[in-house]
Amino acid sequence: MGNNKKLKKPDLTKMSQLLLSGATMLSESCPDCAVPLFKKNEDIFCPNCERKALYIKNKEEIKKIEQTFSLGEATTQLRDVLTGKITFLTNQLASADTPEEIAYILDIIEKIFGIFQKIS
């Protein structure tokens, strides 16, 4: 898992307690320890360093970060699903025995790669 000594091990217990207490995990990470920042009430802070992140200035920026996070999550899910489909289609392609079948499968694979390019 790498040996970056700058990174502290995230305290998962503390992070889940924060989530249970109504805090939100943001897409931004702490500049010091790379643990995701949390937002509770209007405060944004690092659960690891136990200090506020002050560089996020207003509510609109916070909202933008929250949107980025949920979109990023959906994109990750989509990427996982598509990767699974490509594996499936590759197996189908291996057993395809007519040019029509091969062309059909390649057409779908091409579409999937098109989506990959859009979301990456």
Binding site for Zn ion (CB under 5 A): 30, 32-33, 46, 48-49
> Residue 51 or residue 85: which is nearer to Zn ion going by CB?
51
> Residue 53 or residue 105: which is nearer to Zn ion going by CB?
53
Structure tokens at 93: 């392609």
Cα Rg of the chain (Å, integer): 21
Q: How far is the CB of 54 from Zn ion (least distance, A)?
A: 13
Q: How far is the CB of 50 from Zn ion (least distance, A)?
A: 8
- Give Cβ neighbours of residue 77 (< 8 Å, ≥ 6 apart): none
Q: Is 79 within 8 Å of 115 (Cβ atoms)? A: no
Residue nearest to Zn ion (CB): 30
